[in-house]
Amino acid sequence: MPNTTKHHPAKFWDPEGDSIQCWLCPHRCTLSEGQRGLCLVRTVIDGKLVSTVYALPSALRVDPIEKKPLYHFLPGSQSFSLGTQGCNLKCEFCQNWHLSTQYGHATVQVSPEEIVSEALKAECDSIAFTYNEPIIFAEYAMDIRDLASKAGIPCIMVTNGYITPKARKDVFKGIKAVNIDLKAFSNELYMKYTGAQLDPVLNTIKWCIEEGIHTEITTLIIPGVNDDPEMIQKECQWISKHCGNDVALHISAFHPDYKMKDYPRTSRSILIRCNEIAKKCGLKYTYVGNYPGFDNNTYCPQCGEIILKRDLYHIEGNASHMHKSPIIWSVS
């Protein structure tokens, strides 16, 4: 029976002299008694690293899977979605900052068993770790994933991909689909706006593809920050080379939030431009999110027929389409 107290033993750390070192994410925080990691939710109590968000979700909701966004995985299904608090990145443009910058405010305990049973009760086809960064609530997510797997429910992660290779093997084990945020294709921008580095994220994307985890990528386009056509082109060329042209790329519109309230909302022209660049780089499945009026249907690249018709979260699928399609209709 998992421990559901407010301090749950954490994995992914080693003692280091009088301190401990957490190696869950590449920040590798060295922490003394009582100190919190950069993620805000992993702290040292009695010389041991603990998670302060285990079984303490701050958001629980049944969402269309398209909202994650995952467009090529169990389309039209509902996903039992949960998130906690904190984050290991410090994005100034965070669109979920109410969760990512908080800690210690969740009070309602929901055990992994209850999550799985609620997901079954709600007739959801998957459980999604989302809203804030799932990597930082790894222990909770892993316990849910193990129980969900026994119950035949696939788990998915919406993540920034900022994790060490050593922890990744355990945390991503058994995860069936991921959407990874690729926030900019520049280490300088990553450092400036998120406090993290680009390479570990790219490594996670490549690793997920190699491991056969269904992978989709999202880039939030912020005017004047990461919308430079040359950078977008480099990103798309990298995706094409390392992930193949069948991977879905979600080009998402930024709305002013958190520390970037003075920035403009992404305009339609910028989104069109980014989408065109992605297509020119060979990516077959690009979608524009957080913005109305774009054709986000999935077309067969061979014959042009619609495989999936999307109207916001209303989906009409053509599972019997005769050509090879990137869509995963069911999980065994």
Partner 1 sequence: MKFSKFKEAVLSPFDKLQSESGEEFLELMVETIVLEDDNAKELAVLNGWEYSLSRSRHWDKEQENYIMYDGFSDNHLEELLEDIEETEIIPARIVLNIEGMNDLEEAIHKKIIVELSKIND
Rule CB under 8 A: say whether 212 interacts with partner 1.
Answer: no
Residue 300 Cβ vs partner 1, minimum distance, rounded to whole Å: 26
Q: 């003075």: which residue's tokens?
A: 262
Task: Report how many residues bind partner 1 under the rule CB under 8 A.
Answer: 19
Residue 312 Cβ vs partner 1, minimum distance, rounded to whole Å: 6
Contact at 8 Å (CB) between 291 and 266?
yes
Rule CB under 8 A: say whether 166 interacts with partner 1.
Answer: no
Q: Which is nearer to partner 1, 224 or 304 (CB)?
A: 224
**Which residues on adjacent β-strands are paired with residue 31?**
20
Site string for partner 1, 232-271 (x = CB under 8 A): ---------------------x-xx----xxxxxxxxx--
Contact at 8 Å (CB) between 254 and 263?
yes
Q: Which amino acid is at 83?
A: G
* Region from 28-36, 45-53, 76-84, 288-296 binding partner 1, contact rule CB under 8 A: 288-296
Contact at 8 Å (CB) between 145 and 175?
yes
Rule CB under 8 A: say whether 230 interacts with partner 1.
Answer: no
Residue 285 Cβ vs partner 1, minimum distance, rounded to whole Å: 21
Q: Which amino acid is at 64?
A: P
> Which of 3, 101, 245, 290 forms a contact with partner 1 (CB under 8 A)?
290
Rule CB under 8 A: say whether 96 interacts with partner 1.
Answer: no
Q: 């619609």: which residue's tokens?
A: 306
Q: Can you tell me the distance from the alpha carbon of 66 to that of 301, in angstroms, rounded to the nearest whole number? A: 21
* Region from 110-118, 163-171, 191-199, 285-293 binding partner 1, contact rule CB under 8 A: 285-293
CA R_g for the chain = 20
Q: Which is nearer to partner 1, 73 or 291 (CB)?
A: 291
Three-state SS for 237-289 is HHHHHHHCCCCEEEEEECCCCHHHCCCCCCCHHHHHHHHHHHHHCCCCEEEEE
* Region from 149-157, 196-204, 208-216, 287-295 binding partner 1, contact rule CB under 8 A: 287-295
Residue 288 Cβ vs partner 1, minimum distance, rounded to whole Å: 11
Please state whether beta strands 48-51 and 42-45 pair in parallel, antiparallel, or not at all (unpaired).
antiparallel
Rule CB under 8 A: say whether 224 interacts with partner 1.
Answer: yes
Of 271, 206, 266, 263, whose CA–CA distance to 91 is shortest?
263
Rule CB under 8 A: say whether 228 interacts with partner 1.
Answer: no
Rule CB under 8 A: say whether 95 interacts with partner 1.
Answer: no
Q: Which is nearer to partner 1, 215 or 266 (CB)?
A: 266
**Contact partners, residue 17, CB within 8 Å, separation at least 6:** none
Q: For binding to partner 1 (CB under 8 A), which residues are involved?
A: 223-224, 253, 255-256, 261-269, 290-293, 312
